[in-house]
Amino acid sequence: MQMKFKFTAIALAAAFALGAVGLTACVDGKDGEDGKDGINGVDGAPGKDGEDGVGISDVYIDKDGNLIVKFTDGTEKNCGKLPDGGGSAYGEQFLFNEIKENGEVTGYAVRGIGSISSADLVIPSRYNGKPVTEIGKNAFFDCDFIKSASIPDSVVNIADGAFWGCDGLESVTFGNNVRTVGEVAFAYCASLQKLDCPDSLDIIGESAFASCTSLGEIKFNDGLNEIGISAFTGCTALESVTIPDSVATIGHALFMQSFNLKSVKVSANVTAIPEYCFAECSALESVQIGDKVEKIGYSAFFQIAGLKTVVLPKSLKEIVSYAFYKLDNFEGVFYKGTAEEWGNIKIGKNGNEFGDDGNDWGKVYYYSEIPPAAEGNYWRYVDGVPTKW
């Protein structure tokens, strides 16, 4: 009965969409004779005060995907599968939409749950002889019962909101050809523990994994190109992240309020750290910024109590105001260039007063591979760790 009620609204709409043709194929009326069985739309003689009139009491789709019409006299009629006039399929484990090119069906997108009730979701790779290439928009929106999802190699795109709010989703296995993960695709999947990106992945969309509060491990692929705005905002279980060198663009507020994030290594090809990128990551202690970064945006490192030092590249041209604001334990900057090069950087006010002379930066240390001849603040790497001379 649960199956029946789940699809009653869909089935009724579908039944009415069938029109006279569909109902004629389903029921062999008797031209309204004596008012009995007159449901094929053909006018008949009036019934005997309606005593023998028969109407439709219910319409639903059974577990095999057949349209069932139930009449008021207790009888039922199996009308078979619904005709696919609208490019959609009903009543099977999943609901699908056709994907067409030049009027020809080239594949299918999963657009929702049909009769599926399994906690372990396995997306089919083919439907009606064509490949399933997309998980459609909001396909599994708020489906709390799903615990795992296996996505086949045929899928190229996971659309916006595909798994939004699936609170019970603990793991996802991506196929080898997924190229895009859309906006809020996995947002608020509070039980998701690990993200292992396939080598094919090119774009992670805006807020794609926002507020995945159990996400403790992210393994980005080397071919990844773009990570969108707020993609990992509020991922409070994250402790360490390495953004691969293939990534050229990261969105603002990328890891904002990921309170347990302790260390970050940013791609060598990123040219800007956008506004609020690491804001309120209160546990952040270590940040390695790529050597092509030219600009650090407004409040990029706002209110990070744990941050003591940061390594900044000599490529840097601008630090926007309040980029490093409210850093209670900040000790200073390890700069990869010289004092003269540091002086050429456009630096906005940060509003901190923790330096020896009351400035808002603390000390700036300049890179030197060999012991410096002159007095001053210098640093070098020791076993990959920035260390003062």
Model confidence over 276-294: pLDDT tens digits? 999 999 999 988 899 999 9
**Is pLDDT larger for residue 132 or for residue 8?**
132
Is 160 a domain residue?
no
pLDDT level of residue 77 (50, 70, 90 thresholds): confident
Is 66 a domain residue?
yes
Q: How far is CA 85 from CA 41, 82, 89, 105, 125, in A?
A: 21, 9, 9, 13, 23
Burial of 193 (0-12, 13-18, 19+ CB in 10 A): middle
Is 141 a domain residue?
no
pLDDT at position 90, please? 46
β 378-382/385-388 pair status: antiparallel
What are the phi and psi torsion angles at 21 (to 5°)?
-65, -45
Number of domains in the chain: 1
Window from 1-5, 102-106, 270-274, 325-329 with minimum mean pLDDT: 1-5
Residue 164 Cα to chain centre, angstroms: 7
**Which tens digits make up the pLDDT trace of 166-225?**
999 999 999 999 999 999 999 999 999 999 999 999 999 999 999 999 999 999 999 999
Show the domain range for 9.
Answer: 2-81
Is 367 a domain residue?
no
Is 68 a domain residue?
yes
pLDDT at position 30, please? 41
Answer yes or no: pTM beyond 0.85: no
Is 171 a domain residue?
no
Residues contacting residue 289 through CB under 8 Å, at least 6 positions apart: 266, 273, 296, 310, 311, 312, 313
Q: Residue 276, by phi and psi: left (phi above 0), alpha (psi -120 to 50) or beta?
A: left
Helix, strand, coil content of the chain in percent (nearest 5): 10, 30, 65
Question: Which residues face 88 on adjacent strands?
Answer: 97
Is 375 a domain residue?
no
Q: How far apart (Å, rounded) are the C-alpha atoms in residues 71 and 352?
A: 77
**Which tens digits make up the pLDDT trace of 338-366?**
999 999 999 888 867 555 444 566 689 99
Residue 87 has pLDDT above 70, yes or no: no
Is 285 a domain residue?
no
